[in-house]
């Protein structure tokens, strides 16, 4: 069966992603092909092997989309507003990517092995860029002087916990609760790093 004209590579990857997330790494390419209305041979023609299809469907991008906002900031607005924007972007990204990483790991694939060896893996680059954001915020007087790497780790760690917990436990969080949590994280961080507060 030939691939229907209307089925793009991105549509194939979206359906493959959905199947891998629903059934795990062991799902047959026949199942994926059937949901697309194509033969499994078409999948191999387009993506080579099942492993290559899985990587194309599930690997995170080499550049997380939130890094554009990180590199552009901070601006002259208050730290709380800007950190909340970052928290929303990063949290949305993690909610999408954590289940994909779990499926890849269950198949024995590692992100670092798939990354370009000439540069740091995406999580390492993201941490470095967020630490640089905190350093710039300190220099602008938006936050009190702290080790930017520690602030980045605290911020990222707070955001990473819930998507991992949700994936492992299977218990989802509602949108309102998720928003309240992000506001709580940012409020706590801003209180700790308020430049008007004396360091303890």
Mean pLDDT of the 42-50 span: 88
Task: Classify residue 173 as left (phi > 0), alpha (psi -120 to 50) or beta.
Answer: beta
How large is the angle between the packed helices 50-58 and 9-23, nearest 10 degrees?
A: 90
- Structure pTM? 0.82
Q: In this predicted structure, which of 32-46, 62-76, 130-144 has the lowest mean pLDDT?
A: 32-46
Query: Which residues, at least 6 apart from 56, have a Cβ–Cβ distance to it below 8 Å?
Result: 13, 16, 47
pLDDT of residue 78: 94
Local confidence band at 4 (pLDDT 50, 70, 90 cut-offs): very low
Local confidence band at 8 (pLDDT 50, 70, 90 cut-offs): confident
* Continuous H helices in 24-66: 29-36, 40-47, 50-58
Local confidence band at 112 (pLDDT 50, 70, 90 cut-offs): low
Question: Rounded mean pLDDT of the chain?
Answer: 87
pLDDT of residue 16: 94
Domain boundaries, given as residue ranges, for the chain? 9-58, 67-192
Q: Residue 18 in contact with residue 34, Cβ under 8 Å?
A: no
Q: What is the pLDDT of residues 81-109, one digit of tens each?
A: 999 999 999 999 998 998 898 899 888 88
Considering the segment(s) 9-58 as one domain, its CATH architecture is Orthogonal Bundle (1.10)
- Class of 67-192 in CATH: mainly alpha
DSSP structure class, residue 73: -
Q: Which helix (H) or strand (E) holds 197?
A: none
């Amino acid at each position: 069966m030939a691939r229907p004209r209307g089925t793009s590579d991105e549509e194939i990857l979206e359906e493959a992603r959905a199947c891998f997330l629903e059934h795990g790494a062991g799902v047959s390419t026949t199942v994926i092909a059937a949901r697309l209305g194509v033969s499994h041979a078409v999948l191999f023609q387009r993506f080579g092997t099942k492993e290559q299809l899985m990587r194309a469907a599930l690997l995170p991008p080499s550049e997380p989309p939130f890094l554009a906002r990180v590199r552009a900031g901070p601006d002259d607005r208050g730290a709380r507003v800007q950190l909340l924007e970052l928290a929303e972007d990063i949290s949305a990204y993690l909610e999408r990517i954590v289940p994909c990483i779990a499926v890849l790991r269950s198949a024995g694939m590692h992100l670092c092995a798939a990354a370009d060896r000439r540069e740091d893996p995406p999580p390492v680059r993201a941490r470095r860029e967020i630490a640089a954001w905190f350093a710039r915020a300190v220099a602008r007087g938006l936050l009190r002087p702290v080790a930017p790497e520690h602030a980045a780790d605290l911020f990222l760690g707070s955001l990473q916990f819930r998507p991992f917990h949700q994936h492992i436990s299977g218990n989802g969080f509602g949108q309102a609760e998720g928003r309240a949590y992000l506001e709580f994280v940012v409020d706590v961080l801003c209180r700790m790093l308020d430049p008007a507060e004396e360091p303890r």
